[in-house]
Amino acid sequence: MAVKKPSKVERPLLHCATCLALCIELHGTDKAVTDLCKKLVKLLPRTDRRYIFDIMNAKSPLKYAKDFLDMLNKSGIIERLQQTPTQPASLETAESSSALSRC
């Protein structure tokens, strides 16, 4: 029986920034950052792909990625990304009401 591949789901920029931070911390090489960027480009919405392409095409992707994450942190974009809901409102209310009914 063949294993079914999971469908590609678009990931928000926050997830990709987290992956980049982990890659920098764990691997710390230009090649690792470039390889990760090639995978992330496929998962990001088209509007956010330009950031990953900039990292991937830089002379030093590792340094560029560090600077990019630092800029996200200093400008407060990460906090704003964390506040945006990742689920539709209808799912959030259904989950919260089912959690309240269990109490």
Q: How much is the average pLDDT of 17-37? A: 95
Q: Is residue 46 part of a domain?
A: yes
Q: Is residue 52 part of a domain?
A: yes
Cβ(13)–Cβ(48) under 8 Å?
Answer: yes
Beta-carbon contacts of 37 under 8 Å, excluding residues fewer than 6 positions away, are 20, 52, 53, 55, 56, 61
Cβ(11)–Cβ(52) under 8 Å?
Answer: no
Q: Mean pLDDT for the chain?
A: 80
pLDDT of residue 100: 42
Q: Is residue 56 part of a domain?
A: yes
Q: Is residue 45 part of a domain?
A: yes
Q: Is residue 48 part of a domain?
A: yes
Q: Both tokens of residue 46?
A: 């088209």
Domains: count for the chain: 1
Q: Is residue 61 part of a domain?
A: yes
Q: Is residue 103 part of a domain?
A: no
Residue 2 scores a pLDDT above 60 = yes
Q: Is residue 97 part of a domain?
A: no
pLDDT of residue 90: 47
| Percent of the chain surpassing pLDDT 70 | 70
pLDDT one-digit tens code per residue, 68-85: 999 988 888 777 777 766
Residue 98 scores a pLDDT above 60 = no
Structural domain of 71: 13-82
